[in-house]
């Protein structure tokens, strides 16, 4: 008997087609389903339709900190995030930010006269610290290969990461900041990673280093970063995510010449939806076959 999967809160065609392509049946109502694919980030709507017969929930986001904070993820069923689905597209944006920052393209774009003082630096041969070598971090390491960068990969456990010259555990982060030309933050947002980069860490950065954040804004202390940039203690920061988000109008970072900000667009909506549909189809196939699901959430770890 093929599993019955409900797609909510609305049965979007791209995802109902993914359910059918995986050999499952679309359940029109949550009460008829043994699994739910939930396409919004609002826990309350999903919690209101859960019932004891739901054995698995597929969420649409890679980060699940809000779901955990709201207590929506229970131990009565399996929960999966989209972790791993968006690695390549977000890594592509991280590379673009690193290149643009090192080359000072954002300053050139703002200039209104010709000045050789805006000459930037290449990414070739740099030491790049990838803090969080999950799907995004590993994809970025692959993309950086043609640039001949020396990669320092940081994971929670310090496991060996393919393509990295050095693999370190998070407990040794203090060794990372002073040696990196570019620090890319790609770790999950948890209680343990809040303000992973704060004033003490920024003080250890090289004065010519760039910080790139494509994870979550809470991993960087925004006010400490603004102060460090204003004081010229690092070359710049390229941020696709901020805390708070959206970054308020008039915030000092908008006026900071060393800051390059994009409005959380590393994962464009069209690509995100198509990638998520492919990810969902594969996870439904695995569910039906009794195989291990991708993106299983461990509440104890926070992701």
pLDDT tens track for 225-257: 999 999 999 999 999 999 999 999 999 999 999
Predicted TM-score of the model (pTM) = 0.93
Q: How many CB atoms lie within 10 A of CB 73?
A: 20
pLDDT band with cut points at 50, 70 and 90 for residue 280? very high
Choose, from 121, 195, 206, 264, the residue flagged as catalytic: 264
Whether 272 contacts 10, CB under 8 Å? no
Is 93 an active-site residue? no
Asked if residue 72 is part of any domain, the answer here is: yes
Question: What's the average model confidence in pLDDT over 179-199?
Answer: 97
Tell me: do 19 and 135 sit in the same domain.
no
Confirm whether 228 is domain-assigned.
yes
What is the signed CA dihedral for 154, 156, 161, 167, rounded to 10 degrees? 50
Q: Of the residues 106, 216, 233, 281, which is catalytic?
A: 216
Same domain flag for 136 and 66: no
- Give a yes or no: residue 236 inside a domain: yes
Say whether both 91 and 220 belong to one domain: yes
Mark whether 216 is an active-site residue.
yes
| 42: confidence class by pLDDT, cuts 50, 70, 90 | confident
The predicted pLDDT at position 158 comes to 96
What's the average model confidence in pLDDT over 81-92?
A: 96
- Find the mean pLDDT for residues 170-182: 97
Average pLDDT over residues 45-74: 95
Same domain as 227, residue 157: yes
pLDDT class of 104 with cuts at 50, 70, 90: very high
Task: Give the active site residue among 245, 251, 256, 282.
Answer: 245
Question: In terms of domains, do 243 and 122 share one?
Answer: yes
Averaged pLDDT for residues 255-261:
97
The pLDDT assigned to 270 comes to 87
Active site (annotated) includes residue 206: no
pLDDT of residue 154: 98
Measuring CA to CA, which residue among 198, 189, 238, 247 is closest to residue 218? 189
Domain extent at residue 226: 87-261
Domain assignment of residue 301, yes or no: no
CATH code where residue 99 lies: 3.40.50.720
pLDDT class of 184 with cuts at 50, 70, 90 = very high
What pLDDT is attached to residue 249? 97
Residue 72 banded pLDDT, cuts 50, 70, 90? very high
CA distance 34 to 7: 11
- How far is the C-alpha of 117 from the C-alpha of 156, rounded, in Å? 40
> Is the predicted pLDDT of residue 203 greater than 90, yes or no?
yes
Could you tell me the pLDDT band of residue 268, with boundaries at 50, 70 and 90?
confident
Position with higher pLDDT, 101 vs 41: 101
Domain match, 127 and 234 both: yes
Please check whether residues 95 and 217 belong to one and the same domain. Answer: yes
Note whether 110 and 247 are same-domain residues.
yes
Could you report the per-residue pLDDT of 112-123, keeping only the tens digit for each?
999 999 999 999
Say if residues 227 and 258 touch (Cβ distance below 8 Å). no
């Amino acid at each position: 008997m093929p599993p019955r999967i409900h797609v909510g809160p609305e049965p979007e065609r791209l995802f109902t087609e993914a359910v059918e392509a995986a050999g499952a049946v679309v359940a029109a109502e949550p009460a008829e389903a043994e699994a739910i694919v939930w396409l919004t980030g609002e826990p309350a709507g999903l919690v209101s339709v859960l019932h004891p017969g739901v054995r698995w929930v597929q969420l649409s986001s890679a980060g699940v900190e809000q779901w955990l904070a709201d207590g929506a993820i229970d131990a009565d069923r399996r929960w999966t995030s989209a972790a791993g689905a968006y690695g390549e597209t977000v890594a592509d944006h991280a590379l673009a930010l690193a290149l643009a920052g090192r080359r000072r393209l954002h300053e050139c774009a703002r200039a209104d006269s010709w000045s050789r003082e805006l000459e930037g630096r290449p990414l070739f041969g740099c030491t790049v610290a990838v803090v969080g070598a999950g799907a995004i971090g590993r994809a970025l390491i692959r993309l950086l290969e043609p640039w001949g960068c020396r990669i320092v990969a940081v994971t929670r456990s310090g496991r060996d990461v393919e393509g990295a010259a050095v693999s370190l555990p998070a407990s040794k982060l203090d060794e990372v900041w002073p040696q990196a030309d570019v620090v890319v933050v790609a770790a999950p947002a948890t209680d343990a990673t809040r303000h992973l980069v704060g004033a003490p860490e920024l003080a250890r950065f090289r004065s010519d280093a760039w910080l790139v954040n494509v994870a979550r804004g809470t991993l960087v202390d925004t006010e400490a970063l603004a102060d460090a940039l204003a004081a010229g203690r690092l070359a710049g920061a390229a941020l696709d995510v901020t805390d708070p988000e959206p970054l308020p109008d008039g915030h000092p970072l908008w006026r900071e010449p060393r800051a390059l900000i994009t409005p959380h667009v590393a994962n464009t909506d069209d690509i995100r939806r198509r990638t998520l549909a492919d990810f969902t189809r594969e996870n439904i196939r695995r569910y039906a076959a009794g195989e291990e699901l991708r993106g299983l959430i461990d509440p104890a770890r926070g992701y």
